[in-house]
Amino acid sequence: MKVVFHEIFRGVYDYDPAAAKGRIDCIYDELEGFFEFIEPVPAVESDLLLVHEQSHVDYVKSKGIIYEVALFAAGGAILAAESAVRGEPAFALIRPPGHHASRNSSWGFCWFNNIAIAVARQRRLGTVKKVAIADIDLHFGDGTSNIFQDTPDVSYYHLYNIDGLEQFLAINQDCDLVAVSAGFDMHVEDWGFILSTQDYTTIGKIVANHARKYCGGRFFAVLEGGYNQRVLGKNVKALLDGFALS
């Protein structure tokens, strides 16, 4: 399991909870020493235009430092997907998050849809055709759903319970790649009051077992939400430990 990370993600680029000081650091500190870290380069505009309209890209450009960090976030998701299609699972430790970004709009602390860009790029390159996207964030990824709503070969699922995740993957046994929008705000000590830390390990095992059985081990995850810094790093590590336990 590789972890995609760049020092730019430590910076406080905005005033929202996803950009809070220390949020990335608390995750990094939990993962350091256990996983190999690799560094992304920023996405280029042609990558963004795979899923976003030019007017939206231009709007985010006007945001200065936000645009710069968002390019690296998209680039981090791209690198994680590239690693995954080579059979080396990866987790993109990135921000801003992305699953609320649609083709020409964004909200919920998101600017560009990182996971959608990464998936669309691999499909354009021809490395994969069918992709299953599992979103385990507390909030529905309306941007991801909107972007792929007319793409039958890309299936999107938002977690409502762990059994539902297993059912979603069971009907996607012919997919070439599994992508996970990994939000952690569903935790019992975060905004959602639902999942335990151990549940993230279980989710990781389910995803990895499916990918290794049906997809040649091709899967990756990108960070979305999760805001309680006291438990956030532990929850991320629990997910990655589950990825490795299958």
What pLDDT, on the 0 to 100 scale, is given for residue 245? 82
What pLDDT, on the 0 to 100 scale, is given for residue 242? 98
Is the pLDDT score of 22 beyond 70?
A: yes
Active site members? 100
Question: Cα–Cα distance between 78 and 195 in angstroms, integer?
Answer: 28
Using CA atoms, how far residue 74 sits from 32, 49, 165, 200, in Å, is 22, 12, 25, 24
Q: Is residue 215 within 8 Å of residue 61, measured between CB atoms?
A: no
Size of the chain in residues: 246
- DSSP 8-class letter at 8: G
What pLDDT, on the 0 to 100 scale, is given for residue 34? 97
Is the pLDDT score of 48 beyond 70?
A: yes
The structure tokens listed for 204 are: 């990781």
Is the pLDDT score of 26 beyond 90?
A: yes
Question: Cα–Cα distance between 66 and 117 in angstroms, integer?
Answer: 17
Domains of the chain in sequence order? 2-245 (3.40.800.20)
**Segment 22-33 mean pLDDT:** 98
**CB within 8 Å of 129: residues ≥ 6 apart:** 123, 153, 176
Query: Which burial class, exposed, middle or buried, applies to 84 when counting CB atoms under 10 A from its CB (0-12, 13-18, 19+)?
Result: buried
* CB neighbours of residue 19 within 10 Å: 19
Q: Is residue 89 within 8 Å of residue 83, measured between CB atoms?
A: yes
The structure tokens listed for 91 are: 């987790």
pTM > 0.95: yes
Mean pLDDT of the chain: 98
The structure tokens listed for 18 are: 């996803």
From 94, 113, 95, select the one nearest 53 (Cα to Cα): 113
Confidence of residue 92 (pLDDT cuts 50, 70, 90): very high
User: How many percent of the chain have pLDDT more than 70?
Assistant: 100
Which pairing describes strands 2-4 and 131-135: parallel, antiparallel, or unpaired? unpaired
Question: Cα–Cα distance between 179 and 156 in angstroms, integer?
Answer: 9
Using CA atoms, how far residue 39 sits from 10, 23, 192, in Å, is 14, 19, 31
pLDDT tens for each residue of 201-237? 999 999 999 999 999 999 999 999 999 999 999 999 9
Which pairing describes strands 154-158 and 131-135: parallel, antiparallel, or unpaired? parallel
The structure tokens listed for 162 are: 């762990």
* CB neighbours of residue 41 within 10 Å: 12
pLDDT tens for each residue of 157-179? 999 999 999 999 999 999 999 99
Is the pLDDT score of 246 beyond 80?
A: no
